[in-house]
A and B are shown apart, each in its own frame.
Chain A
């Protein structure tokens, strides 16, 4: 489904550049050995911005929870309502979460706890790729 194109900014440029290369990266503080997402200017634990780097993720996760959006604020998505908006937890670190429309999964048929795999979708305005997640069928 259509999405707004994210505009990369200094704090998250590495994330979006990697997405355009088909890779999922998450900010890591190598001093704390701690991932954090969304990206920030400094580590939320030690407060330093000097030790942040981008770590590549496996692209595997699970569905933590979801809601079905009937009244979303983005006009670009009005025609696709209702749609799934799921919270994905990464296998690499279940504390790290991302959102997903779960392409291919019908509304109201979201299996909480099910494994998902990473895919990328191209957004229309700028061509920026964004991460999405599909349920892994056995």
Chain B
């Protein structure tokens, strides 16, 4: 029975301001295990590939990875949002299938019929994982993996849980979302979307305009981004949990492929965007003391921060985005009590790819300053074999839209078990990651050691 329940991360747990000093929870919580479900492009309507089933699979794999049994888990954080885009509910069920009926036969469902198919909840997970018999702390943390990880870390530091699981899932239903749906459909338009969709803009548009401004401001060329995407795709094919490694292992993307890809919103093309997929991942956090008898080496959380400045007008400008990223960079260093040269690697968000440039410039990683990223990725060794790995996970571009590969890779790199992605040009001691946009960001600093 849960005794502590949150429907969102308590505001006082977040570190939003600069000047807060070293985080008082530094190295008092560790990540030990992680696991991902199998991946697929779209849901095939089978209950065993639903987002609920994927979440259960990921949670069990994370427990196995850490060497923990369900009865030892006393905390559970679930990200209830699982959509990869915008879908109507209920969806157009296949004519010959009773999908809700199949789900009800396979799982214990809750009052909201979407949960398990197009959403998750702690109630649904606990009902369908009978091995979780001792959950005393449960929380829904909206949106994404990164804030959920911060929630788990803070919950451990604050003594609300000693062994805490976090799970995030993604469902991707049939159809091309956005196009001709919702506000885009018809010859009139209402709601706030009249200011954006009304001009035929969507998704990648805003970042494409910031990318265009960036190219103009710093005198760079779009072609200079190619090595970053090629490297991310390569890292993705070396990520066995990822979509492309599992489903399209032959899908090597070359510089020529990138430069010849179809435009979405020029200067953004197909390979600057991520592919929506079905997947789930789970992470297991605990105290350093409790981790001693677990199966994997603990990864220490050295600091975290959150940055969410509102846009002044219609959309964030490049300059607002750069300022947000720079603030996050400073706050992460301050929280962890380190200097930027202490970073062995970075795993910042990349869906869309250009976000990665702004994040890295904001960090100052590898000496990269504002306007430098394209020169760096074009001229330096950015592979996992080099001295300054860039996006060693491959991120969303490399393995599909989840916003969690980055965290899994950070853990695995620091634990020395990233397989073919394991970095060799630098000893992974401190890594930094976070998602998603610079102007809507939650980030963490992780260490192989507590100091």
What residues of chain B lie closer than 8 Å to A65, measured between beta carbons?
209-210, 212-213, 216, 318
In the complex the two chains form, is B208's CB within 8 Å of A97's CB?
no
In the complex the two chains form, is A73's CB within 8 Å of B200's CB?
yes
In the complex the two chains form, is B178's CB within 8 Å of A68's CB?
no
1/0 per residue A80-121: CB within 8 Å of B? Answer: 001101010000000111111100000010001000000000
1/0 per residue B256-280: CB within 8 Å of A? Answer: 0000001111111000000000000
Q: Is A5 engaged at the interface, CB distance under 8 Å to the other chain?
A: yes
What residues of chain B lie closer than 8 Å to A87, measured between beta carbons?
209, 314-315
Given contacts A38-B195, A65-B318, contact A85 B188 (CB under 8 A): no
In the complex the two chains form, is A96's CB within 8 Å of B313's CB?
yes
Q: Is B323 engaged at the interface, CB distance under 8 Å to the other chain?
A: no
Q: Which of A36, A64, A96, A124 contacts B187 (CB 8 A)?
A: A124
In the complex the two chains form, is A66's CB within 8 Å of B200's CB?
no
Q: Is B197 engaged at the interface, CB distance under 8 Å to the other chain?
A: yes
In the complex the two chains form, is A85's CB within 8 Å of B189's CB?
no
Q: Which of A5, A12, A85 contacts B199 (CB 8 A)?
A: A85
A38 to B208, CA, bound (A): 20
- Shortest Cβ gap from B12 to chain A (Å): 21
What residues of chain A lie closer than 8 Å to B202, measured between beta carbons?
72-73
Please provide the chain B residues from 384 to 442 with a CB less than 8 Å away from any CB of chain A in the complex.
none
In the complex the two chains form, is B200's CB within 8 Å of A69's CB?
yes
1/0 per residue A38-78: CB within 8 Å of B? Answer: 10000010000000000000000000111111111111110
1/0 per residue A2-40: CB within 8 Å of B? Answer: 011111010010000000000000000000000011100
- Shortest Cβ gap from B178 to chain A (Å): 5
What residues of chain A lie closer than 8 Å to B191, measured between beta carbons?
9
- Shortest Cβ gap from B208 to chain A (Å): 4
A98 to B194, CA, bound (A): 11
What residues of chain A lie closer than 8 Å to B87, measured between beta carbons?
none
In the complex the two chains form, is A7's CB within 8 Å of B189's CB?
yes
Interface size on B, residues (CB 8 A): 44
Q: Which of B190, B195, B199, B264 contacts A71 (CB 8 A)?
A: B264
In the complex the two chains form, is B212's CB within 8 Å of A112's CB?
yes
In the complex the two chains form, is B317's CB within 8 Å of A64's CB?
yes
Q: Is A126 engaged at the interface, CB distance under 8 Å to the other chain?
A: yes
* Closest chain B residue to A75, Cβ basis: B180
Given contacts A96-B313, A112-B213, contact A67 B267 (CB under 8 A): yes
* Closest chain B residue to A36, Cβ basis: B313
**A65, A67, A95, A126 — which one has the most chain B CB atoms within 10 A of its CB?**
A67
- Shortest Cβ gap from B343 to chain A (Å): 31
Q: Is B198 engaged at the interface, CB distance under 8 Å to the other chain?
A: yes
- Shortest Cβ gap from B264 to chain A (Å): 5
Q: Is B107 engaged at the interface, CB distance under 8 Å to the other chain?
A: no
* Closest chain B residue to A124, Cβ basis: B187
What residues of chain A lie closer than 8 Å to B178, measured between beta carbons?
73
In the complex the two chains form, is A75's CB within 8 Å of B184's CB?
yes
A36 to B212, CA, bound (A): 24
* Closest chain B residue to A16, Cβ basis: B194
Give B contacts to A, CB under 8 Å: 178-181, 184-192, 194-203, 205, 208-210, 212-213, 216, 262-268, 310, 312-315, 317-318
17 A–B contacts, CB within 8 A, in A order: A36-B313, A65-B216, A66-B212, A67-B205, A69-B201, A70-B264, A71-B264, A75-B184, A76-B187, A82-B266, A85-B201, A85-B209, A85-B265, A97-B314, A99-B198, A101-B200, A125-B187
Given contacts A67-B209, A77-B200, A99-B195, 17 further A-B contacts (CB under 8 A): A5-B189, A6-B189, A6-B198, A7-B194, A12-B194, A68-B263, A69-B200, A70-B262, A73-B181, A75-B184, A83-B200, A85-B200, A87-B314, A87-B315, A108-B266, A124-B187, A126-B188
